[in-house]
């Protein structure tokens, strides 16, 4: 036995990693839970870093993400060889991460160039209209785009109100999360599903009833609550009785609507136009239409930066930090999730067999309610995009099966990932952005656990009803 073999064997023994011979693909059934440590580490860092080490985290989150990525990548090369490791990482980064970040980034840039102006007064009917409009727009420009477009005019409309906090809580519930469940444009998990083969209109066809009911119930609850608070406030808030200076309704930076339409068109094009042309690179099969799609995304973002006047972005308080944070953190997530996805794909033969048991009945059929709540609970505290991928693979990872025979399972996974991102501040990226903007305007928002009290009190009863009606 040579020194290299002895060293690797010692490392394997100390780390709990199985010494596996070279394979064409990562053998998920042979991987121990230790391979999931970097993935768990980066997700826990994202969840707890801003809470426990806020100053350090905000300055060093990119370095933390890189550390976990290195801790995941190095063992891959050590135990599986260069070719297998490079191909596995290329699939995650080039096949999934790059299209994902180009898509999210283009939506963020284009939406950030649209400024909505008008003489808005925060009465219950207007606030509810804002939430309903955001619910519709979330499926056209993403939860991030819709939230960034509407949160500032909503803040302006309610600037004279004493009771504002509940409005932005429901805004997070509806616009930043639940409403974006009908198209791959709506929320990143669904776009990742689209990249994996789920057709563009599948979610709309299968989730419109459950999404419509969830959003409808939330709008009714909000309107009743806001009406009660507004009437209560009218008694002692003289500011509400003063006239508001007239500002004509309109949009500035309208060229971005054209660019947004180009992004939507590019997604549709890649789903329906099959050229049959593929390029092979590092074990990847990259379709020509996918390259064209991503090129249109990038071009739309560049044109938005060139054609949008600076004052429009300034009026929106546009900043690069949110998308840079998403880019850095998701780079680490997509690297660390590589072995985890293979372990999940192994099903009952892999280290995640206990999880498989929870979502599989005695007859071998999936327990769809369990898929919904497990996907949702993890999406509440971790990021919903990798959580979606994890349970998508746990359910077999075959889009053709999941869209037909396994439709209720894919429905449950999609609902859990998108809906329960609203349960905590860390469940979905737009949540962070909304809270940051609101607090910068001087409006008090609940603490981390205070927000959970709202979400558990309002959302959990609704989710129980949805489970009973659609997944049992």
Higher pLDDT, 138 or 383: 138
Rounded Cα–Cα distance for residues 178 and 416 (Å): 10
Extract the runs of DSSP E, i.e. beta strands, from 239-277.
250-252
- The predicted pLDDT at position 352 comes to 80
Higher pLDDT, 362 or 226: 226
| DSSP string for 224-246 | HHHHHHHHHHHTT-GGGGS----
Longest dimension (CA), the chain: 86
- The predicted pLDDT at position 296 comes to 96
- The predicted pLDDT at position 195 comes to 79
- Contact assessment for residue 194 and residue 414, using Cβ atoms and an 8 Å cutoff: no
Predicted TM-score (pTM) of this structure: 0.78
- The predicted pLDDT at position 18 comes to 40
Closest CA to 425 of 41, 39, 50: 50
- The predicted pLDDT at position 67 comes to 96
- The predicted pLDDT at position 16 comes to 39
Mean pLDDT estimate for the chain = 85
Using 50, 70 and 90 to split pLDDT, how confident is the model at 420? very high
pLDDT at 390 over 70: yes
Residues ≥6 apart with Cβ < 8 Å to 13: none
- Average pLDDT for residues 51-69, to the nearest whole number? 90
Nearest 5°: phi and psi at 348? -70, -10
Higher pLDDT, 178 or 277: 178
| DSSP string for 130-191 | HHHHHHHHHHHHHHHHHHHHHHHHHHHHTTT-S--HHHHHHHHHHTTTGGGGSSTTT-HHHH
- The predicted pLDDT at position 323 comes to 81
Beta strands 115-117 and 284-287, pairing class: unpaired
pLDDT at 306 over 70: yes
- Contact assessment for residue 89 and residue 284, using Cβ atoms and an 8 Å cutoff: no
């Amino acid at each position: 036995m040579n020194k290299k073999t002895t060293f690797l064997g010692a490392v394997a023994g100390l780390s709990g990693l199985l010494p596996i011979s070279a394979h064409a693909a990562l053998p998920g059934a042979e991987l121990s839970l230790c391979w999931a440590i970097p993935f768990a580490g980066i997700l826990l860092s994202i969840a707890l870093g801003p809470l426990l080490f806020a100053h350090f985290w905000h300055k060093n989150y990119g370095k933390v993400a890189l550390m976990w990525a290195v801790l995941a990548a190095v063992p891959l090369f050590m135990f599986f060889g260069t070719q297998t490791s490079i191909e596995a990482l290329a699939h995650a980064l080039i096949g999934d991460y790059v299209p994902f970040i180009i898509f999210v980034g283009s939506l963020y840039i284009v939406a950030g160039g649209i400024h909505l102006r008008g003489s808005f007064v925060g009465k219950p009917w207007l606030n509810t209209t804002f939430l309903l409009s955001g619910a519709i727009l979330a499926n056209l420009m993403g939860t991030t785009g819709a939230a960034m477009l509407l949160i500032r005019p909503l803040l302006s409309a309610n600037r004279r109100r004493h009771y504002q906090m509940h409005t932005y809580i429901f805004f997070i519930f509806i616009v930043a999360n639940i409403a974006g469940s009908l198209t791959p444009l709506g929320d990143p998990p669904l776009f990742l599903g689209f990249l994996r083969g789920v057709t563009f209109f599948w979610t709309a066809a299968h989730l419109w009833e459950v999404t419509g009911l969830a959003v409808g119930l939330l709008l009714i609850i909000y309107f009743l609550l806001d009406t009660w608070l507004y009437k209560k406030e009218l008694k002692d808030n003289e500011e509400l009785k003063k006239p508001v200076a007239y500002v004509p309704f309109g949009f500035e930076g309208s060229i971005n609507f054209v660019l947004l339409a180009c992004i939507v068109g590019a997604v549709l094009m890649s789903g329906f136009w099959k050229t049959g042309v593929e390029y092979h690179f590092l074990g990847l099969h990259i379709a020509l239409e996918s390259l064209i799609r991503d090129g249109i995304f990038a071009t739309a973002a560049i044109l938005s930066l060139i054609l949008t006047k600076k004052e429009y972005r300034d009026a929106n308080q546009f900043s690069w930090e949110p998308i840079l944070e998403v880019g850095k953190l998701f780079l680490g997530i997509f690297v660390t999730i590589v072995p985890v996805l293979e372990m999940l794909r192994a099903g009952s033969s892999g280290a995640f067999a206990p999880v498989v048991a929870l979502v599989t009945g005695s007859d071998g059929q999936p327990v769809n309610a369990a898929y919904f709540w497990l996907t949702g609970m993890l999406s509440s505290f971790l990021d919903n995009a990798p959580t979606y991928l994890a349970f998508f693979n746990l359910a077999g990872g075959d889009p053709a099966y999941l869209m037909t025979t396994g439709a209720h399972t894919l429905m449950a996974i999609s609902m859990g990932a998108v809906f329960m991102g609203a349960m905590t501040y860390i469940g979905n990226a737009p949540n962070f952005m909304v809270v940051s903007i609101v607090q910068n305007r001087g409006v008090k928002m609940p603490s981390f656990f205070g927000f959970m009290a709202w979400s558990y009190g309002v959302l959990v009863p609704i989710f129980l009803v949805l489970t009973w009606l659609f997944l049992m």
